[in-house]
Structure 1
């Protein structure tokens, strides 16, 4: 476990694999920490330099006063990657992590040579929706939203398994202020115009039963980028890397090979 001081926040991060390996950066979703990627990492090709971090307000990173801006989340990642001397990574972002990917690619294309936009969009929801969720968290904590979040995150079949409790526990153990702060960042983000100017290899991944970012929304976003690919994972909700890790890892590995990163 390592902490990086990014100024107003200290970021918990982890690096696995050889120092000279091809860098792959993973950015997780709202309400999760870097363990989101644990199911797929053993299934990826050996020799990669895998970089993960807990965004501000999540996991073992510190919790600055909110609300947060998307620019701050992008800057946190930018500073961390500069600190780790990362160039030309493949960036895999899920949900808010995919928004960070888009914003960072627009700002610092030298850092990213290709990206995977999983269960995300250029714009997610609307301010009224996010205001309602932020108010609920501030009044009743994340616990007050947890059951509804599980319905959006996972398929009916997965919600009947004992593993559901692990992910519900991860959600409710995040800091309320961190969850609300990052919700505000999503609320204020519309990347349709900047993302449409991107020119880099891009793979979109969606879950057929995603209640947060439905497949059509994901496809609409990746279609903004010429030459992009799209893959639908069936029997999965918002976190297909959890529900269908073998398929997620297979699709990601094929993309890494296709862009010459393996």
Structure 2
């Protein structure tokens, strides 16, 4: 199992590189309560053109879940640290929700490391203390993640998708239920304390913001606001809820590949 020692913890990662050793790098970053498997709908297509690096954010999947709370600085530093371990000098980046928030910080603070950046179903300020503190407390309870599953998953997809795609949802629910309660809670606290609105306005890289029309977690309005902070950014709205890369996988994949393939 590929683990990288980064910032005092071990980060689990996976590389798909059908495009060969000379292809550009593309880093994919997961949402809160998921793991790298959320990118399964995109990996095959992405790997035909890029060396794709997926990783489990700290507190998720097979990565370590050290005692929290975590900070957005740590989430940003983990990506840079992982890239350094793997000797990746420069890459494209695509993150969704929490991964998108991390991407805002990466693009603002490390412009020399990133070519093009996709910020999906996210915002520069997500939620508030009133949302995140009680959720973190619930996650730390015995069976807390099981209790949260039925509250959170219905916000990730539209009702029609949930009804018609039970086999797609089953492994997603399973990953959520078995995410470390402490890890999930600590990431809730990182999101709670992160306000990157000022930093977003400093981003100079080409940026694509993707939002979901039916997203209740990071609304389309928030997506448009984020795009408005970033000069020259592009905004695309998909007929989906929060995990738009899964609910509208073909549209999402096509949109991202088209953006990444453009030349300045």
Match of 1:177 in 2: 182
Q: Is the 8 A contact 1:117 1:203 kept in 2?
A: yes
Q: Is the 8 A contact 2:7 2:81 kept in 1?
A: no
Please list every run of 5 or more consecutive structure 1 residues that lacks an aligned counterpart in the other structure. Answer: none
Q: Is 1:141 paired with 2:149?
A: no
Provide the rounded CA distance (Å) in 2 between the counterparts of 1:249 and 1:229. Answer: 16
Match of 1:102 in 2: 104
Match of 2:154 in 1: 151
Provide the rounded CA distance (Å) in 2 between the counterparts of 1:250 and 1:138. Answer: 38
What is the correspondence of 1:188-227 to structure 2 with a 5 Å cutoff? 188-227=193-232
What TM-score do the two structures reach when normalised by structure 1?
0.95
Q: Is the 8 A contact 2:16 2:43 kept in 1?
A: no
The range that moved more, 140-149 or 20-29, is 140-149
Q: Paired residues, what number?
A: 259
Q: 1:115 to 1:187 in 2, by over 3 A?
A: same
Provide the rounded CA distance (Å) in 2 between the counterparts of 1:49 and 1:247. Answer: 21
Match of 1:83 in 2: 85
Q: Is the 8 A contact 1:43 1:246 kept in 2?
A: no
Q: Is 1:243 paired with 2:247?
A: yes
Tell me the alpha carbon deviations over residues 116-155 of structure 1, each in whole angstroms, 9 at most, x when there is no partner: 0000000000012101101111224111111111121011
Q: 1:65 to 1:11 in 2, by over 3 A?
A: same
Match of 1:131 in 2: 133
RMSD: 1.3
Please list every run of 5 or more consecutive structure 2 residues that lacks an aligned counterpart in the other structure. Answer: none
